[in-house]
Structure 1
Amino acid sequence: MLDFRLAATPTPEATVVALPVPAADPRWDIPEAEAFLTQAEHTGEAGRVEKLVRPLSTPSTVFFAGVGTGDEAGWRAAGAEIVRSAAKATSITVDLGSAADQPAATRAFVEGAGLAAYHANPAKRPPLAEVTLLVDDPATVAEALRQGQSVVERTSFARTLTNTPSSTKDPAWFVEQVSAAATQAGVAVEVWDVDRLRDEGFNGIVAVGCGSTRGPRMLQLDYAPAGATRHVVLVGKGITFDTGGIDIKPAEAMLLMRKDMGGAAAVASAVLAAADLQLPIRVTALTPLAENMVSGSAWRPGDVIEHYGGLTTEVRSTDAEGRIVLADAMAYAVEQYSPDYLIDLATLTGANRVALGRRIGALMADDDDLADALLAAAGRAGEGLWRLPLHRDYVSMVTSEIADLYNHTDGGAGTITAGLFLREFAGKQRDRWAHIDMSSPSWADEPEKELAKGATGWGVRTLVRFFETL
């Protein structure tokens, strides 16, 4: 990770620097700056960076970074492009002095820069290691820096969990990695192995995982500070590899199925961030974990599963397994905790990408206030999120004649019908529940803005921003 430092004045050794565009009263006098920017036609578009080399002057390299209107999105974009443009340097000094809201600019810049600097293979990370941020008074932005660094660290953790190949990553490995991080952060850990899952009636998780030699698990993280009056329970889909089961996927569709536990990675990392930031709310994450494999012991189309809590599902597709494991964990959360808010995150449907493209997650909720709060949090975090309707006319599409529910329908509206299926397991908490399908934005095929190639850790930033409003 990048090492961020705060300072009020630049050092004489600062040879590689970055200035915002537009900027008022920059800390360096660059006589050729105006002519350079005019020739480049650089007027400050957010995220646009132009490089000026001055071999006989100090600083010798100046990056002019557009911050747009100077809002958080502009500073986030500038941070991302500056670290990419200056990747071959070992350090850079960045002037944030022109920001109208320096704490907000600091956090946004740190998030953009830190996330863009991530690489799935640490050995291939560029040499840039240190970023000095020049602000008017370091003491006034120190907390914003800490917030940004925590978000970067925990989002990067979610990315690394998701990027890890399934030759290494299975349910037990996920439990081991996350439990170690949670223990270090002072977060309580509880684990269900396959025997405990079976004994306690988590039959959906057991069914999905029974085709693999690497058995299912469920992991709970619980951050419970003294005096907390609000309780948020998060549930994240944790399919560590998805073949589709007996309804097997085409080979090409399996290539990235190591990412099918992105929801579990996001909710676990969000709890760790809440602990880092000592937020005054209780946050619990449940991550049902399984491999969806093909074997003689695998679950079958036509099976009927009795979930935790008693609802039953007729299996119409073994490739609609995510909602099956989420259902058990959600029912448990409602029974055990009756939380103020119940939010599930999942790489759930390919229909998410059809409806909203590659950068936007789908939000479904009955409660307008909760939906609005999550949309606002996503907006501040810079993560795309759009609300879809839980259209009641579609309920019949997931209603079985021999069980309570179907887990799949061929009638279209796949993202919405998945949400309607899960809504049944929110039970008495339906008016405090939200479902987020983050299948599309969980992965970036190429670097873009603050996103590095590969897993994005989508959802961690949105959840942290949401927590901060409670």
Structure 2
Amino acid sequence: MLAFRLVAEPDRLDTLVLPIRLDAVDRDDTPGAVLPASTLALPDEVRAEVDALIPAARCTGRAGESATHLRLAQAPGRLLLIGVGDGDEAGWRAAGATLARSAAEQEHVTVAMPADATAEAVRGLVEGLLLGSYRFRLTEAGKRPALAAVDIVVADPAACAGAAETATVTARMTRLARDLTNTPSSTKNPQWFAEQIEAAATGQPGLHLRVREPDELAAEGFGGLLAVGTGSASGPRLLELGWQPPDARTHVVLVGKGITFDTGGVSIKPLAGMKLMRKDMAGGAAVAAATLGAAALGLPVRVTTLVPLAENMVSGRAFRPGDVVRHYGGLTSETTNSDAEGRLVLADAIAYAVAELAPDLLVDLATLTGANAVALGPRTAALYSENDDLAGALVAALGAAGEKAWRMPLPADYVEYLGSEIADLYSAPTQGAGSVTAALFLREFTGDLRERWAHLDMSAPSWAGGDDAELTKGATGWGVRGLLRWLATLD
């Protein structure tokens, strides 16, 4: 990752980065930009050049905007203006990401923070820097340059150190989730995923890990996970990762879908729908990374994460439409579509959590339906919960982290769509409202945790088609940042 320091005085000035804010400067309130009072005492000639550059480059101060001015044979040799918008945390995240890209070919830059910059501003800037500089490549060929080091000049480095550390851990775990999700499925199978989490957890006090192998899954009755995973040469796994600090009073279970590749099974997908199915374990990556982050930050909340891992493949052993699956705990479902496999593995994990783990709260994340994207577009997850407080807290935490979610209904009259003549439930009703009925199916496995459960259908925002603010093209690591913010509010 990019290296940064918080300093009170810079020891070098190659490229000087000056944040600028939105300001209504004209009588008709046309947006303009203003350079706020800086932590650095800027020479008169530098301020004069900035004052001239702002109108010349038509700077508005919009978050993520940038303008460059070269100063030959002078120090600093380059001025880089970066817009932070109104100066909220989201604006600073966008500014950090823009800086990471705009100065990618620079060895070192110095950011002169405004004199009134808060710890939240530093958190946003650091997160943006570390996430905007993320790159995933399996080979060095064609690798783009990346900014190496940043000095952030603040009035009181010690006062901002905690915010910077939180941002660093959050970004590191988000990058881990991105790496896991971006990795091609030729490498990434259930065993590989479990090994990556085991390696990341090794040496961290308070963490424990258990990985159930296929024989154990069969012995304990995880029928949904076995049905989906049996068609692959790479057998299914159930990863159970726990963070248990001694002072925890609240126990949260996080469940994440971990389909390491999804062909659709016998109900095979077309090519266009299959080519990005390496991302079908993004929910599992997010909850595992968030749990590792909770441990790294020492959050005083107990977290148990369950990631049901499987490849949904086509073979002579693959499960079929019309099969009846017996899930953990005994409920049965009639398979109507083998491409609706995610809910089958999640149902097992949720039922296990309810029966054996006795959590206070249960939240699952899954790249579950394309209907989510149809309803809410590419950047917003669908949230389902009957608990107003839980739903509100999750939406607020996700929003503060830059990860949008919108609460959706769980209509009582849609429950009849789940009725099967030969099993307790249809796995995937055909009447429409695909994201809603998937959530209703999962709710049937929540038992007495029904009113303390939330489901996030996050297929669309798990992937970005291009760079945008702190997002980079490919896996976004959606959910890690929001979950960590939410967990930090619990005691």
User: Does residue 1:19 correspond to 2:31, yes or no?
Assistant: no
What is the rounded CA distance, in whole Å, between the counterparts of 1:454 and 1:43 in structure 2?
Answer: 29
What is the rounded CA distance, in whole Å, between the counterparts of 2:4 and 2:415 in structure 1?
Answer: 50
Q: Which residue of 1 aligns with 2:29?
A: none
User: Does residue 1:174 correspond to 2:193, yes or no?
Assistant: yes
Q: 2:258 aligns with which of 238, 242, 259?
A: 238
Q: Which residue of 1 aligns with 2:136?
A: 120
1:58 partner amino acid: A
1:121-200 mapped onto 2 (5 Å cutoff): 121=137, 123=140, 124-186=143-205, 187-200=207-220
1:149 partner amino acid: T
Q: Which residue of 1 aligns with 2:242?
A: 222
1:416-468 alpha-carbon deviations (Å, 9 max, x no partner): 11111111111110111000011000011111111111111000000000011
Q: Which residue of 1 aligns with 2:227?
A: 207
Secondary structure of the 2:303 match is strand
User: Does residue 1:64 correspond to 2:81, yes or no?
Assistant: yes
What is the rounded CA distance, in whole Å, between the counterparts of 2:412 and 2:61 in structure 1?
Answer: 47
What is the rounded CA distance, in whole Å, between the counterparts of 1:90 and 1:261 in structure 2?
Answer: 36
Q: Which residue of 2 aligns with 1:285?
A: 305
Q: Which residue of 2 aligns with 1:448?
A: 468
1:135-169 alpha-carbon deviations (Å, 9 max, x no partner): 11110011111100001110000000111111110
1:88 partner amino acid: E
Secondary structure of the 2:253 match is strand
Secondary structure of the 2:356 match is helix
1:50-449 mapped onto 2 (5 Å cutoff): 50-100=67-117, 102-121=118-137, 123=140, 124-186=143-205, 187-449=207-469
Give the deviation of 1:17 after TM superposition.
Answer: 1.8
Give the deviation of 1:14 after TM superposition.
Answer: 1.7
Q: Is the 8 A contact 1:118 1:125 kept in 2?
A: no
1:334-388 alpha-carbon deviations (Å, 9 max, x no partner): 1112211100000000011101111111111000000000000011101111111
Q: Is the 8 A contact 2:133 2:146 kept in 1?
A: no
What is the rounded CA distance, in whole Å, between the counterparts of 1:309 and 1:293 in structure 2?
Answer: 25
Q: Is the 8 A contact 1:209 1:216 kept in 2?
A: yes
1:166 partner amino acid: S
What is the rounded CA distance, in whole Å, between the counterparts of 2:264 and 2:367 in structure 1?
Answer: 14
Q: Is the 8 A contact 2:229 2:312 kept in 1?
A: yes
What is the rounded CA distance, in whole Å, between the counterparts of 2:120 and 2:375 in structure 1?
Answer: 32
1:226-247 alpha-carbon deviations (Å, 9 max, x no partner): 0200111000000000000000
Q: Is the 8 A contact 2:101 2:146 kept in 1?
A: no
Give the deviation of 1:294 after TM superposition.
Answer: 0.5
1:273 partner amino acid: G
1:5 partner amino acid: R
Secondary structure of the 2:239 match is strand
1:143 partner amino acid: G
Give the deviation of 1:97 after TM superposition.
Answer: 3.0
Give the deviation of 1:213 after TM superposition.
Answer: 0.8
What is the rounded CA distance, in whole Å, between the counterparts of 2:421 and 2:50 in structure 1?
Answer: 72
Q: Is the 8 A contact 1:238 1:288 kept in 2?
A: yes
Give the deviation of 1:24 after TM superposition.
Answer: 2.1
Q: Which residue of 2 aligns with 1:35?
A: 52
Secondary structure of the 2:325 match is strand
What is the rounded CA distance, in whole Å, between the counterparts of 1:53 and 1:410 in structure 2?
Answer: 61
Give the deviation of 1:98 after TM superposition.
Answer: 3.7
What is the rounded CA distance, in whole Å, between the counterparts of 1:255 and 1:84 in structure 2?
Answer: 28
What is the rounded CA distance, in whole Å, between the counterparts of 1:141 and 1:106 in structure 2?
Answer: 7
Give the deviation of 1:399 after TM superposition.
Answer: 2.1
Q: Is the 8 A contact 1:110 1:149 kept in 2?
A: yes
What is the rounded CA distance, in whole Å, between the counterparts of 2:66 and 2:137 in structure 1?
Answer: 26
What is the rounded CA distance, in whole Å, between the counterparts of 1:253 and 1:212 in structure 2?
Answer: 19
Q: Is the 8 A contact 1:99 1:105 kept in 2?
A: no
Tell me the percent identity.
55
What is the rounded CA distance, in whole Å, between the counterparts of 1:3 and 1:398 in structure 2?
Answer: 52
1:167 partner amino acid: S
Give the deviation of 1:99 after TM superposition.
Answer: 4.3
Give the deviation of 1:319 after TM superposition.
Answer: 0.1
Q: Normalising by the residue count of structure 2, what TM-score does the alignment of the two structures yield?
A: 0.94
Give the deviation of 1:197 after TM superposition.
Answer: 0.3
Structure 2: 5+ residue runs without aligned partners? 22-34
What is the rounded CA distance, in whole Å, between the counterparts of 1:255 and 1:77 in structure 2?
Answer: 30
Flag as ranges the 4+ runs of structure 1 deviating above 4 A: none
1:46 partner amino acid: A
1:15 partner amino acid: D
2:487 partner amino acid: F
Structure 1: 5+ residue runs without aligned partners? none
1:148-206 alpha-carbon deviations (Å, 9 max, x no partner): 00011100000001111111100000011111111233321001000000000001000
1:293-329 alpha-carbon deviations (Å, 9 max, x no partner): 0011000100011100111100000000000000000
1:99 to 1:265, Cα distance in 2 relative to 1, 3 A: farther
